């Protein structure tokens, strides 16, 4: 069998995503009932981190452990990559030792290079271009909250509005919404739009699924009739020292997810954030901790979704 990677959300089709969601639901129910399920006994997952992590590192490590496998966590500075060993050589060595690798790195091309030289599954834990595990968990959370039956493949035509920088999460949202047929608006200031190639790819996918994917710079208009309002930090990881933070705050202030903006959406509009949050910047406390927030539900579902992913890739 050919190995299967998850480097981009575009690596998955609608049926594969919905199958993953069905397994996610099953595994979540097993855990809630205290039922052990350990199909990955004897399997090992290596996790390589070039960037800081809370949810990705904890959820993958705990998930692998709960499935009976062994998680190994490496900071890239601890590996011989720091001393000049090539990605190709490192990938070949890991292929001889472990059953899968999850990587969280800055450069998406490094992810592609590493995956090219492995004989084992590679999972994208975040790059500068995409964050597929995050958005898969988000999509599952939305279906769960709206109690949409996954098995009939008829998903609700929800309107999702992403507020803020067109970053890696926004890019993965474009692909995910396109594949599943959701209506998505990326609302970002001019000059901070999502990746053009991914946007075009998402639009092509959307033509087949009936999704509507648009880009706007007008948050007051974009949020009207929204079912989901989603936001992320205004400055991506590793960019904090590269940008003028005060200038960035001025540019993005109209995109803050606050009560005023939330009130322009549907009355029961749900609020999402991939975390970590800079409270008082991209989102206010009253919204993040309010009754419309499902922020911590989506954070929990990182664990359940990734467990399902590990089972599908490593079992």
Write the pLDDT tens digit of every residue in 75-134. 988 899 888 899 999 999 999 999 999 999 999 999 999 999 999 999 999 999 999 999
Q: Report, as an integer, the average pLDDT of 48-70.
A: 97
Q: Which of 66, 227, 232, 304 is catalytic?
A: 232
This prediction has a pTM of 0.96
Whether residue 175 is predicted with pLDDT greater than 80 in this model: the reply is yes
Other Cβ atoms within 10 Å of 292 Cβ, number: 19
Q: Report, as an integer, the average pLDDT of 211-217.
A: 97
pLDDT digits (tens, 9 = 90+) for 224-283: 999 999 999 999 876 777 789 899 999 999 999 999 999 999 999 999 999 999 999 999
pLDDT digits (tens, 9 = 90+) for 16-29: 999 999 999 999 99
Nearest to 166 by CA among 207, 214, 134: 214
Residue 207 designated active-site = no
Q: Which of 134, 256, 298, 306 is catalytic?
A: 134
Q: Which of 55, 131, 248, 273 is catalytic?
A: 131
Contact yes or no for 165/219 (Cβ under 8 A): no
Lowest-confidence pick of 4-8, 69-73, 150-154, 161-165: 150-154
Residue 131 designated active-site = yes
- Which run of H or of E encompasses 278? none
Whole-number pLDDT of residue 2:
64
The helix, strand and coil proportions of the chain, stated in percent and rounded to the nearest 5, come to 45, 15, 40
Q: What are phi and psi of 259, to 5 degrees?
A: -60, -40
Report all structural domains of the chain as residue ranges with CATH numbers, in order of start.
9-131+302-314 (3.40.50.1370), 133-298 (3.40.50.1370)
Q: Which of 104, 108, 248, 273 is catalytic?
A: 104
Residue 232 designated active-site = yes
Q: Based on C-alpha coordinates, what's the Rg of the chain? A: 19
- The whole-angstrom separation of Cα 2 and Cα 313 is 11
Contact yes or no for 91/132 (Cβ under 8 A): no
Whole-number pLDDT of residue 154:
65
With pLDDT > 70 as the criterion, what percentage of the chain qualifies?
A: 97
Whole-number pLDDT of residue 151:
64
Other Cβ atoms within 10 Å of 307 Cβ, number: 25
Whole-number pLDDT of residue 243:
85
Residue 104 designated active-site = yes
Whole-number pLDDT of residue 197:
98
Specify the 3-state DSSP secondary structure of 239.
coil
Provide the token pair at 250: 């001025």
């Amino acid at each position: 069998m050919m190995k299967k990677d998850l480097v981009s959300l575009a690596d998955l089709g609608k049926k594969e995503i919905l199958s993953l969601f069905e397994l996610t639901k099953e595994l979540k129910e097993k855990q809630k009932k205290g039922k052990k399920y350990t199909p990955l006994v004897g399997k090992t997952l290596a996790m390589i981190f070039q960037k800081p992590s809370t949810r990705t590192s904890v959820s993958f490590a705990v998930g692998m452990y709960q499935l009976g496998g062994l998680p190994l966590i490496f900071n890239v500075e601890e590996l011989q990559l720091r001393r000049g060993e090539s990605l190709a050589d490192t990938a070949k060595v890991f292929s001889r030792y472990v059953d899968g690798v999850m990587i969280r790195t800055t450069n998406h091309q490094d992810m592609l290079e590493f995956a090219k030289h492995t004989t084992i599954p590679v999972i994208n834990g975040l790059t500068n271009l995409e964050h597929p595990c995050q958005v898969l968990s988000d999509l599952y959370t939305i279906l769960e909250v709206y109690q949409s039956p996954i098995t009939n493949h008829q998903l609700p035509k929800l309107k999702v509005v992403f507020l803020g920088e067109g970053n890696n999460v926004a890019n993965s949202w474009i692909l995910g919404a396109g594949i599943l047929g959701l209506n998505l608006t990326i609302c970002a200031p001019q000059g901070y739009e999502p990746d053009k190639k991914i946007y075009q790819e998402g639009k092509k996918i959307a033509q087949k699924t009936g999704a509507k994917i648009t880009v706007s710079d007008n948050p007051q208009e974009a949020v009207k009739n929204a079912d989901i309002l989603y936001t992320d930090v205004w400055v991506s990881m590793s960019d904090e020292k590269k940008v003028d933070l005060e200038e960035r705050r001025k540019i993005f202030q109209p995109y803050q997810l606050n009560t005023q903006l939330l009130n322009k959406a549907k009355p029961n509009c749900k609020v999402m954030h991939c975390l970590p949050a800079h409270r008082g910047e991209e989102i206010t406390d009253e919204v993040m901790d309010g009754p419309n927030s499902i922020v911590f539900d989506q954070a929990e579902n990182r664990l359940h979704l990734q467990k399902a992913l590990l089972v599908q890739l490593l079992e």
